[in-house]
Amino acid sequence: MLARVTGHQLRLFNSLGRRIENFAPSADVVGLYSCGPTVYSYQHLGNMRPYVFADTLRRALRWKGIPARQVVNITDVGHAVADSDTGEDKLEVAAAKERRSVEEIAEFYTQDWLQALAALNVQPADVYPRASAYVDQMIEFAKVLEDKGCTYQLPSGLYFDTSKSPGYGTLAMMDIAGQREGTRVEIVEGRKHKSDFALWRAEEPGARRVMRWNSPWGWGAPGWHLECSVMSMTLLGDHFDIHTGGIDHRELHHVNEIAQSEAYLEDGRPWVPYWLHNEFILLDAQKIAKSAGHTLRLADLVEMGYHPMAYRLFLLGGHYRSQLDFTTAAMDAAQVTLRRLAIRVAPLRPLPQVETLAAARSLLGVPVDATGAAVGRDASARAAADDNTAIAYVDAIDAAIAGDLATPKLLATLQDALRDPNVTPDGLKVVVAAADALLGLRLSELKPAEVDQRRTADDLAPEEREEIERLIAERTQARMEKNWPRADEIRAELDALGVQVTDTPTGPTWQLR
């Protein structure tokens, strides 16, 4: 008799309600919006966690055969210093400090961030919208809120009246009356409630912003919260399934996104049903905040001799909802573990192509029905009886990821499988490929030598050096001509050669990864 064996139900911790829930997609393609970086400086190590976490979520959806479309925004305007409603824009402050244009600043730090994502093997999002390209839609959105009577105008801009939002603050689980008066410290002349926030930040009299747009509320710039509502709805539709971000966003940014979006839609439905947040990475038991001057970033780790995948492994070694202490001892341990993994996996290569539970099961001879659920093994299953062990490991991998993305459990399962004498080599290949489809540690190709030995430029043949220098010169030229597609293409070529380019005020420098 064929026993129907379905995979484990995907369960995720929803910040909305603070409980683990079954994930049920509401559409054929899951819409996933992840709050992205404000590109006014380098992204530090902590800042990279939200994207590795969202990448894990995407890999989990793929594993379950659930198609997803991911949007990650790039905030190149609208984020005022100190996350406040008034005052200067972070980008403008950085541009003045570095004596570069805001466009140059945004482009430079965006490219640096994209490079770090690639080094961390984060799969590219479907769209990376720039906030500055959506200002017209933001103005239209704010006009609708104004027509609905949810706003009021002050000399400093157009404000959202949070008393018009009945469920205001539910995500943050705050006492509504208390928080409406209590949480915000910034004093804004005329603001009705401290929780009210700017949809439009008007130019102060006599001050002219660098990034400015005309609007019914005067020249100025959009509010930070408005951006994410507008870009997500424009690119994913009015309602979509999942919104992610760092835990700090749960208290303010996402609270305000929900308030304005639900006021805009007014359809009685929650705007987005699932809200997922990653906890912080701590450095010296403090938030690694850019403002605190700790800007330790991935490139620094590489400089110190760590492999980017070791940082990914360090991140995955903790559950995304746990705070994680960053220490060099923890990085050393991650690097050793990564190297051991690479050594142990090397003889198993080439690994099979496995991205889904269905594929893993089918390779192990478990017949799969049209929905991807296994329906038991029949006599024609080509797997050896020994592969029952491998099937059990794939099941454990599925259980780990389905249980709120438990990457530490997944890693432990992988280690157990690699040590288990009962699993056949063919079965083990499938288990390793399955685990890495979710972990993304590049186990199918990572060379042990790569992990602890860095090739330096001195090891290169003269013609190799010449080729690299030629490509870099060509890229500099393309950038001067603002030919970004060509510049990106050359960067990809350099990437493939293992060359990491860093743009400095005195021109590009490079090193081997």
- Chain positions contacting Zn ion, by CB under 5 A: 35, 228
Beta strands in 379-506 (DSSP E): 499-504
152 forms part of the interface with ligand AMP (CB under 6 A): no
Smallest distance from ligand AMP to CB 372, Å? 32
288, interface contact from Zn ion, ligand AMP, none, CB < 5-8 Å by kind = ligand AMP
Among the listed ranges 114-122, 148-156, 243-251, 374-382, the one in contact with ligand AMP (CB under 6 A) is 243-251
Backbone Cα Rg of the chain: 25
Nearest to 264 by CA among 154, 180, 160: 160
User: Which region, judged by CB under 6 A, interacts with ligand AMP, from 55-63, 187-195, 261-269, 278-286?
Assistant: 278-286
Cβ proximity to ligand AMP, 112 vs 146, nearer residue: 112
> Residue 78 interacts with ligand AMP (CB under 6 A)?
no
Nearer to Zn ion, 226 or 397 (CB): 226
50 binds ligand AMP (CB under 6 A): yes
Amino acid in position 423: V
Give how far Cα 315 sits from Cα of 44, 325, 441, 490, Å.
14, 10, 11, 30
Toward ligand AMP, which CB reaches closer, 297 or 307? 297
Name the residue type at position 449: A
Phi/psi of residue 11, nearest 5 degrees: -125, 135
Binding mask 244-273 for ligand AMP (x = CB under 6 A): -xx-xx------------------------
Task: Map the footprint of ligand AMP across residues 286-315, applying CB under 6 A.
Answer: 287-288
Query: 144, 147, 142: which is closest to 158 by C-alpha?
Result: 142
Given candidates 281, 411, 423, 451, which one binds ligand AMP under the rule CB under 6 A? Answer: 281
Return d(Cα 289, Cα 240) in angstroms, integer.
Answer: 30
Round to whole Å and give the CA distance between 325 and 413.
23
Q: How far apart are CA 295 and CA 38, in angstroms?
A: 14
Q: Minimum distance between the CB of residue 253 and Zn ion, rounded to whole angstroms?
A: 5
Q: Which SS3 state, helix, strand or coil, does residue 366 take?
A: coil
The listed partner (Zn ion, ligand AMP, none) that binds 228, CB under 5 to 8 Å by sort, is Zn ion
> Shortest gap between Cβ of 180 and ligand AMP (angstroms)?
23
Residues 6+ apart with CB under 8 A from 289: 46
Straight-line distance from the first to the last Cα atom of the chain, in angstroms, rounded to the nearest whole number = 54
Among 144, 280, 412, 448, binds ligand AMP (CB under 6 A): 280
Query: Residue numbers of the site for ligand AMP (CB under 6 A)?
Result: 35, 37-38, 46-47, 49-50, 245-246, 248-249, 278, 280-281, 287-288
